[in-house]
Amino acid sequence: MIYSVVWFKRDLRLQDHAALHRAARQGPVLCLYVIEPSLWRQPDAANLHYQFILECLSDLADDLHRQGGALHVTTGEVVEVLGRLYRHAPFAALHSHEETGNDVTYRRDKAVARWCREQGVAWHEVPQFGVVRRLADRDGWQAAWEARMAAPRLPAVAARFLPAPWPEGPPPAPAALGLEPTDAPLRQAGGRRQGLEILDSFLGDRSGRYRGGLSSPLSAPTACSRLSPYLAQGALSLREVVQAARDRLGDLPDGPDPRRQGLTAFLSRLHWHCHFIQKLESEPALEFRNMHAGYDGLREGEWNEDHFRALVAGRTGWPLVDACVAMLRETGWVNFRMRAMLVSVAAYPLWLHWRPVGLWLARQFLDYEPGIHWSQMQMQSGTTGMNTTRVYNPIKQARDHDPDGRFVRRWLPALRRVPDSWLFEPWRMPADVQARCGVRVGTDIPWPVVDLDAATRMAKARVHGLRAQPAIKSAVAALVDRHGSRRPAIPHSRPSRSGRPAPRAQLTLDL
């Protein structure tokens, strides 16, 4: 029998699934997901990702079951699994979405391509969202994104699904994959159904709170869409989210409505999603090397393990930073501004290189998406050369976004006893205040790891000193050519009729 294999990766859905559609047109389809031990051994992998994916797979298997099909979930390295399948019953074609993953998935895909060539199996890869393979430069990228997002969504297919080729036991326990068993107990549950409910609640009502609520860690958990992990694992397609948001925007009654601003701002983030992933697609080395080589050597030789340990333990002494680390540990999520602040604190006053900090955060973020993550890690650490350096002061951020200390008190119980007037800088409490409230600095709460002002001043001077050098400045144009956005993102508008690329402009992050 001639059949195709659809290899599910970060596209755990049946709806708007271009690879499945293409395969179904060619005949019977076997749906495959591979749990790859080599990927789970990587330092960016964590049990919370694994559990979330298993939940998505369960929804996907149910959906397939309803269509009379089955999802074959097996464990092994992909080339070895494909070989086993092929020996069991040779297949003509392999279908999957393009993936912009980490270095290991990149090398694995090359091995799969080699295997397919050797067996005479055609491997058809189709784009998953707005990222363009083998892109020469960013001219025209915006138009390509728009065309893909505006194309009709693909309905769930009525294919001839094949049963699983052999029985499989339950998926391996985390420990068998070398994963620490810890999960984030309050994390979002995986699965398309969950994703759709969250999308619905955001479009229905929460989007009205988006603009005003996305910066504060108090309001952001409900004001932000919270769709990131579902987009990262493809339980929802980016196009279906873009189109649903545009439809909602179009349906809003005339007159002022905060949902209009909310949905418009949300749509620009969906554009950034692909804009950032495109950077890693165009330059996979961004996972390891500074985007601007002129920054090489800036932090590399000065790793401070004590600083890193304090950050990871949530014991930097700066309440907002430590509260964010505590929240991440429990929920697997913090909002953009707090992520940027965490990285800024790591990169400037703590003077830590972005790579180990990024690996730790990748394991904390339920929505870990390599393309967004590594581009953002570099941007917030000041190593892209082409973005304005933003240094977030955690004390100012706390005053602006958690003025009553509700957030820090929620996540750091010791601060519940600290009087309001000392909340932002509790280490300055005089001894008698410490005695009265029963919170001792150095015991119940940590001293700040470094003097924030002095350390930040020194760090900024070093980064800005480099930035001002003529050789560093002159290399920026080439980076903008390769990675810069060509105009401010207005993703809900139509592309220009002339089809001509818009004038070059840097992406502005209005956060």
Ligand X SMILES: Cc1cc2nc3c(=O)[nH]c(=O)nc-3n(C[C@H](O)[C@H](O)[C@H](O)COP(=O)(O)OP(=O)(O)OC[C@H]3O[C@@H](n4cnc5c(N)ncnc54)[C@H](O)[C@@H]3O)c2cc1C
The contact set with ligand X (CB under 6 A) reads 214, 224-228, 231-232, 266, 269-270, 272-273, 276, 335-336, 339-340, 343, 365, 367-369, 372-373, 376-377, 380
Spatial distance between the Cα atoms of 221 and 319, rounded to a whole number of angstroms: 19
CB 155 within 8 A of CB 15: yes
DSSP 119: H
> Would you say 227 or 352 has its CB closer to ligand X?
227
Q: How far is the CB of 223 from ligand X (least distance, A)?
A: 8
> Would you say 7 or 392 has its CB closer to ligand X?
392
> Would you say 346 or 415 has its CB closer to ligand X?
346
> Would you say 92 or 359 has its CB closer to ligand X?
359
> Would you say 130 or 385 has its CB closer to ligand X?
130
Q: How far is the CB of 146 from ligand X (least distance, A)?
A: 16
Spatial distance between the Cα atoms of 318 and 408, rounded to a whole number of angstroms: 10
Spatial distance between the Cα atoms of 226 and 174, rounded to a whole number of angstroms: 25
Q: How far is the CB of 175 from ligand X (least distance, A)?
A: 25
Q: Find the Cα–Cα–Cα–Cα dihedral 122, 123, 124, 127, rounded to 10°.
A: -170
Q: How far is the CB of 454 from ligand X (least distance, A)?
A: 25
CB 316 within 8 A of CB 446: yes
Residue 392 CA, chain-centre distance (Å), reads 20
DSSP-derived 3-state class of residue 190:
coil
DSSP conformation letters of 309-368: HHHHTT-SS-HHHHHHHHHHHHHS---HHHHHHHHHHHHTTT---HHHHHHHHHHH-TT-
Contacts of 205 (CB under 8 A, 6+ apart): 259
Residue type, 322: D
Q: How far is the CB of 451 from ligand X (least distance, A)?
A: 24
> Would you say 26 or 219 has its CB closer to ligand X?
219
> Would you say 95 or 226 has its CB closer to ligand X?
226
CB 262 within 8 A of CB 210: yes
> Would you say 272 or 407 has its CB closer to ligand X?
272
Q: How far is the CB of 199 from ligand X (least distance, A)?
A: 10
Spatial distance between the Cα atoms of 328 and 186, rounded to a whole number of angstroms: 9
Q: How far is the CB of 335 from ligand X (least distance, A)?
A: 5
> Would you say 195 or 448 has its CB closer to ligand X?
195
- Structural Rg of the chain based on CA atoms: 24
Q: How far is the CB of 270 from ligand X (least distance, A)?
A: 5
Q: How far is the CB of 46 from ligand X (least distance, A)?
A: 12
In Å, how far are 10, 206, 233, 500 from 190, measured between CA atoms?
A: 13, 20, 9, 41
Spatial distance between the Cα atoms of 131 and 123, rounded to a whole number of angstroms: 19
